[in-house]
Amino acid sequence: MDFSRETNVGFLREAAKLLQDKLIASEARFLEATRIAKEEEELCLRLSEELLVLKKKFFVGGRESKNKGKSPKLSRDKNLIHNESPLVNTQSSDAELDSETVLHEIDSEDLTCTKECGCTMEEMKGGFEESLEVSVIERRYVLRKHKRQKYICRQCRAIKTAPAPVKLVDSGEFSIQMAVEVANEKFNRHVPLERQVKSMAEAGLKVNSKTLYSLTEHLHNRLHPVAEAIRGEILARPSVGIDETPMKLLANDSRGYIWAICNNYGIYYKYETTRSGEVAKEILKGYRGAVMCDGYSGYDWIEKQPAMILAACWAHLRRKFHEARDFHPESDLFLEKIDELFGLEHKAQSIFELTEIRRIGSRPIILELESLIAAYRMKALPQSGLGKALIYALNQWPYLLKFLENPNVPLSNNAVERGLRGPVLGRKNFLGFRTINGADVGMTFYTIINTCKLLNLNPKDFLLDSALRSCRGQKLLTPFEYGKELESRYEEGQRGNLSNLHG
């Protein structure tokens, strides 16, 4: 229709209104289509990034060092001041090989001289040709028959019997060493009881997994107080890390969780069937100090406790930027600054030095990070890897900065994450715990064994020493107290050696 020739004002007004409605409807459809296209683009990007992360996890092993890019590798933080062992000279963590000398001689009839003289050859005093080799003596199980000698008084006919060997349980058929060996194999070497049963059968010992579990349970009953004492030592320190990981309960095929708290004095585990923050409240009951964790909402209650400081982990934030690198190269800008923070931490030799380093060196880096976050937060799509990392940073920022206010706050929660590797390796081998009681047994041994490792002590030696102390009615020590005893013995031995040297 040619509207230029139309003179009816009413008609033109209606036509204009109709066209306006159609235009508005078209604009609405266009905006909706644009929104859907944007959502699909974000979804496609997010799925592509998640697919890449999963590929790396399952096909590359999740190792950062295999990813391409120029981001510097993060230095191991086990040597940071917050993670240093309080024990120095224990001399118990590194076992040494037993050595023996095997003398090889020639039979007398073969001692005729190889030359033409025909004389008999004689032994050269002190003349040997030596070489070294490492061999193995296969593990053996020995059936010991204990015969306790009886004595009688010829005058009054009183009878006395030689004392019985120390037993884990009265009239038990297995030695304390056997129980320690089974517990160490399962919770330190991650060897399931059924696999131990097969190994024992090959060596001539016929036993079932129920019997082996009973041994670990009896040992747990004696050593459980040690695990609780370790928890007390951990909570006596000014900072602690907390985390949790799933572990199945096989009896009803349900999911439970292993909770862990850790610092340089030890690591304590607790198994619960829930991931509720109430578990953390129970573990940290009465604690006064800084608590480092991830962004899980189950820890939000900590912020409301007047005696606690809620701190966030910089390694968690770094991980999120690292996962975004392949699609967002600008993530390297954030990674470089975070790595600078960790690099500064390695320079500190004391809490005083750390305080100064953080004040002079760390604060300017934090300001640069804040500028980077402000510059990229509006550019990045919220569902992209970079967007998620920035949102996480903004949500956790007040807690990430707690390390600037308190030198006792570590930069990362990696110590407790390393501590959870032991139970996770066990989970891969024996899938889960059969019962709640079995889980409690496991938590006792994981607590003791991994605390020993943290303090550079030999877990098996400590388990045996503690079991013997318990059976003899002696005071039980924590790994830290045991290590202090070893330090004292080592220092006394060093002083004795110096005295002999100067004597």
Q: Could you tell me if residue 463 is inside a domain?
A: yes
Tokens of 479: 């790994």
Residue 34 lies in a domain: no
Q: Kindly state the percentage of the chain with pLDDT values over 70.
A: 90
Per-residue pLDDT tens for 362-374?
999 999 999 999 9
State phi, psi for 262 to the nearest 5 degrees: -155, 145
Assess whether pLDDT exceeds 50 at residue 67.
no
**188 and 297 both lie in a single domain:** yes
Residues 187 and 283 in one domain: yes
| 393 and 339 within one domain | yes
pLDDT at residue 35 is higher than 90: no
* Domains held by the chain: number: 2
Is 396 domain-assigned? yes
CA dist 351 and 72 (Å) reads: 26
Kindly report which listed range (82-91, 146-155, 217-226, 293-302) carries the lowest average pLDDT score: 82-91
Q: Which of the pair, 226 or 48, is modelled with greater confidence?
A: 226
For the cut 70, the answer to whether the pLDDT of residue 169 exceeds it is: yes
Does 449 fall in a domain?
A: yes
Each residue of 400-443: pLDDT tens digit?
999 999 999 999 999 999 999 999 999 999 889 999 999 999 99
455 in the same domain as 379: no
Per-residue pLDDT, averaged over 363-386, amounts to 92
DSSP per-residue codes, 103-135: -----GGG-B-SSTT-PBP---TT---------
CA angle (79, 80, 86) in 5-degree steps: 75
* Final residue in a domain of this structure, among 412, 442, 477: 412
Which pLDDT value is given to residue 110?
80
- Residue 487 in any domain: the answer is yes
The crossing angle, in degrees rounded to 10, of helices 363-376 and 331-345 is: 170
| 448 and 390 share one domain | no
Predicted confidence (pLDDT) per residue in 265-318, tens digit: 999 999 999 999 999 999 999 999 999 999 899 999 999 999 999 999 999 999
**295 and 333 inside one domain:** no
Q: 113 pLDDT band (50/70/90 cuts)?
A: confident
pLDDT at residue 369, as a whole number? 96
Q: What is the mean pLDDT of residues 82-103?
A: 77
Provide the token pair at 473: 């009615």
Range of the domain at 445: 175-303+433-503
pLDDT score for 62? 44
- Looking at the fold, whether 183 and 297 belong to one and the same domain comes out as yes
Position 496 pLDDT exceeds 90: no
The angle that helices 176-187 and 193-202 make with each other, rounded to 10 degrees, is 130
Q: 473: pLDDT confidence band, cut at 50, 70 and 90?
A: very high
**Looking at the domain assignment, is residue 278 inside a domain?**
yes
For residue 73, pLDDT beyond 60? no
Lowest mean pLDDT among 84-93, 219-228, 310-319: 84-93
Q: Which of 380, 412, 444 is the last residue of a domain?
A: 412
Q: Are residues 399 and 465 located together in one domain of the fold?
A: no
Q: What is the pLDDT of residue 499?
A: 60
Q: What is the pTM of this model?
A: 0.82
User: Is 38 within a domain?
Assistant: no
Q: Are residues 297 and 327 in the same domain?
A: no
Residues 384 and 442 in one domain: no
Interval 386-407 mean pLDDT: 95
Q: Can you give the pLDDT at residue 386?
A: 92
Tell me the average pLDDT across 9-25. Answer: 82
Confirm whether 88 is domain-assigned. Answer: no
User: What average pLDDT does this structure show over 453-474?
Assistant: 95
- Specify whether 408 is located in the same domain as 266: no
Place of tokens 């292993």: 258
Among candidate residues 350, 379, 412, the one where a domain is terminated: 412
- pLDDT tier at 491 (50, 70, 90 boundaries)? confident
Q: Are 193 and 209 in contact (CB under 8 A)?
A: yes
Q: Where are the beta strands (DSSP E) in 150-307?
A: 150-152, 159-161, 239-249, 254-263, 266-272, 289-293
Q: What is the pLDDT of residues 195-213, one digit of tens each?
A: 999 999 999 999 999 999 9
Structure tokens at 363: 């604060």
DSSP 335: H
> Which 3-state string (H, E, C) describes 143-194?
CCCCCCCEEECCCCCCEEECCCCCCCCCCCCCCHHHHHHHHHHHHCCCCCHH
Q: What is the mean pLDDT of the chain?
A: 88
Q: What does the alpha-carbon distance between residue 220 and residue 227 come to, in Å, rounded to a whole number?
A: 10
279 vs 502, residue with greater confidence = 279
Q: How far apart are CA 421 and CA 243, in angstroms?
A: 12
Amino acid at 358: R
Say if residue 270 is in the same domain as residue 180.
yes
- 42 has a pLDDT exceeding 80: no
Segment 89-115 shows an average pLDDT of 77
CA distance 312 to 398: 8
Q: E strand or H helix at 312, and its extent?
A: strand 308-312
